[in-house]
Amino acid sequence: MSFSKFPFWREETSNRRVPVDLPCVLWMTNGKLEAHICNICFDGIGVELPMQTADFASSDVLAVSADGLGRIAGEMRWRRMNRIGIAFTQAEAVQPQLEQFFRELGRFPD
């Protein structure tokens, strides 16, 4: 993945993310949406939505869940086409859960 189109600060933090392809469920105020986690770090995740997903408010996202990860509360911070970024709202509280996930994955963020 090339980060050449992103600002320079994006390249500095991008190595902290671990690329994955993991089915997930976004828990939203009006139901749930199946999607895929495309990267993860200790602060949040990148999620790829199905191509024809309708627009929704960032406040609609409540949590994300996936096998091996469990359910983690989060806030949507950005959306670009069919990708969104979610920051964990209780990052410190989920650290043990994330460490276990990365240990099972066999890779930790740099």
List 72's β-bridge partners, or say none: 64
For 15-105, which CATH superfamily applies? Answer: predicted glycosyltransferase like domains (2.40.10.220)
Instruction: Give the CA distances from residue 92 to residues 44, 64, 71, 89, in Å, rounded to whole numbers and listed in that order.
Output: 11, 16, 15, 9
Q: What is the dihedral of CA 61, 63, 65, 69, to 10 degrees?
A: 140
Closest among 25, 29, 45 to 97, alpha carbons compared: 45
Positions of the chain with pLDDT lower than 50, given as ranges: 1-14
In the chain, where the domains are located: 15-105
* Cα gap 88→62, rounded to integer Å: 10
Q: What local confidence, expressed as pLDDT, does residue 1 receive? A: 37
Q: What is the pTM of this model?
A: 0.83
